[in-house]
């Protein structure tokens, strides 16, 4: 039985989850893996006397984790970006393998970090919590070429959109409830603006397509403009609105985008609700596979952290921490060159012939209509919503068409547009 000594940086929810799992399931882990895990050191800016460290030595100095000889693997759970990045750099320079749950560090600094690391750096917990999606891509599906990787990878957005659908809540009301339940931060911008999901997509894209992590090249859009009307109309058309991260290889190039998306109700992703995450992978040999589970939370993330710890512990006699394949610098298509179908909600005057004018404006730009809804105006309303699903078209064409539609006398400004993906 191999004993591996762990040093944990941070003492938040995930770190406490790691301590609890090691205490509760240590014997089970040892039986299954042949590795006995022992937490020997914990470092955090402030002590938490109420947390059982299981006999580990506590310090307020992060450097104690990599400067001392009694730590075999360092676990970075302090969060943030710059401090965490500096800590990981120092740990690997000292020859300590690192496990991190830090998606921001990997998405923005991972190329340098992994290329220069003399020891392994693992980051399963950085994407989709308990879901072993990184192991699936790197190991379970290693014999495949990937066509697309699509995911619901932010639980806060998924909870809000689910509440808007199931409870008829407005975005603001759903967000307030998410904050009250602890699913959203006091400042939720990072989540609802799409940045969190984009960090995760950058990692998945790099791994699936053997490319550098290219966070800055991603198109990112949040959910703040989604309305209860959009949720309702999507349902009537047989769709649900999900906030997706999508990486797809096409004949024209690589698409990489994060945004709200209409997904057919028949698609498995449409049934993933609440704070759950899910990732759909399409590969040439394996076909479609989907992975779903808790995307956040102390126990769920700690589970993924310890999966990486066990793999590292079993490989401590090996060297090298970089990614195994040569990276291919694949340019990401600008959003204007991507192709998909679109949902349009157009506020228009309740007058004869308006729909025909809208349809004609779309047709002038080569856009065909797949389905349409036109509602009767409610009392005291001057405008009525025209809802259209287009067929697949290039985004630059749609943008030009929307400009023309918004210029019609009968149309109010502010046409709402949401992308539609069949995910076949």
Residues involved in catalysis: 200
Beta partners for 239? 264
Which residues lie below 8 Å from residue 280, measured CB to CB, with a gap of 6+?
A: 148, 149, 150, 151, 268, 269, 288, 289, 290, 423
Q: How, if at all, do strands 219-220 and 276-283 pair?
A: unpaired
In DSSP notation, 67-117 reads: HSTT-SEEEE---SSHHHHHHHHHHHHTT--EEE--HHHHHHHHHHHHHH-
- The two tokens of residue 416 are 């709402």
Copy the structure tokens of residue 181.
């339940």
* Residue 97: Cβ within 10 Å count: 25
Closest C-alpha to 197, from 169, 223, 234, 228: 223
Residues in the chain: 424
| Residue labelled with tokens 């992978």 | 281
User: Quick one: tokens of 132?
Assistant: 């072993």
Closest CA to 30 of 302, 297, 309, 318: 309
Residue that is written with structure tokens 């100095």 in the block: 61
- The string of DSSP codes covering 234-259 is HHHTTEEEEEEEEEEE-SS-EEEEEE
> How many Cβ atoms sit within 10 Å of the Cβ of residue 242?
25
Find, among 296, 226, 218, the residue nearest to 261 by Cα: 226
CB 73, CB 99: distance < 8 Å: yes
Q: Which of 162, 103, 127, 105 is nearest to 278 (CA)?
A: 127
Dmax over CA atoms of the chain, in Å, equals 80
């Amino acid at each position: 039985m191999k004993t591996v000594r762990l040093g944990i940086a941070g003492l938040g929810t995930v770190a406490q989850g790691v301590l609890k799992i090691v205490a509760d399931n240590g014997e089970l882990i040892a039986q299954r893996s042949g590795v006995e895990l022992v937490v020997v050191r914990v470092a955090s800016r402030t002590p938490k006397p109420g947390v059982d460290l299981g006999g580990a030595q506590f310090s307020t100095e992060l450097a104690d984790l990599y400067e001392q000889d009694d730590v075999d693997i360092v676990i970075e759970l302090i969060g943030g970006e710059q401090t965490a990045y500096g800590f990981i750099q120092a740990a690997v320079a000292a020859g300590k393998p690192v496990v991190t749950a830090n998606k921001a560090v990997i998405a923005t600094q991972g190329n340098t970090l992994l290329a220069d690391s003399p020891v392994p750096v693992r980051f399963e917990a950085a994407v989709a919590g308990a879901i072993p999606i990184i192991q699936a891509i790197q190991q379970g599906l290693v014999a495949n070429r990937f066509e697309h990787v699509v995911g619901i990878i932010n639980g806060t957005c998924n909870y809000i959109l689910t509440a808007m659908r199931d409870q008829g809540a407005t975005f603001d009301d759903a967000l307030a409830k998410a904050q009250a339940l602890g699913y959203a931060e006091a400042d939720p911008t990072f989540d609802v603006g799409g940045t969190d999901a984009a960090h995760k997509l950058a990692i998945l894209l790099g791994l699936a397509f053997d490319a550098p992590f290219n966070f800055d090249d991603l198109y990112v859009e949040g959910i703040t403009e989604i309305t209860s009307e959009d949720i309702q109309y999507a349902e009537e058309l047989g769709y649900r609105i999900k906030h997706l991260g999508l990486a797809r290889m096409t004949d024209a190039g690589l698409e990489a985008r994060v945004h709200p998306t209409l997904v057919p109700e028949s698609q498995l992703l449409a049934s993933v609700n609440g704070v759950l995450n899910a990732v759909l992978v399409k590969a040439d040999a394996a076909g479609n596979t989907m992975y779903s589970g808790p995307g956040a939370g102390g126990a769920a993330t700690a589970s993924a952290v310890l999966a990486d710890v066990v793999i590292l512990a079993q490989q401590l006699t090996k060297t090298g921490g970089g990614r195994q394949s040569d990276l291919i610098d694949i340019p990401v298509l600008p959003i204007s060159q991507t192709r998909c179908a679109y949902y349009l909600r157009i506020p228009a005057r309740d007058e004869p012939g308006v729909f025909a004018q809208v349809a004609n404006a779309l047709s002038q730009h080569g856009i065909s209509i797949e389905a349409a809804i036109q509602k009767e105006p409610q009392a005291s309303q001057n405008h009525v919503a025209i809802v259209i699903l287009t067929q697949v078209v290039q985004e630059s064409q749609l943008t030009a068409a929307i400009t023309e539609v918004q210029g019609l006398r009968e149309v109010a400004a502010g046409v709402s547009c949401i992308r539609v993906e069949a995910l076949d």
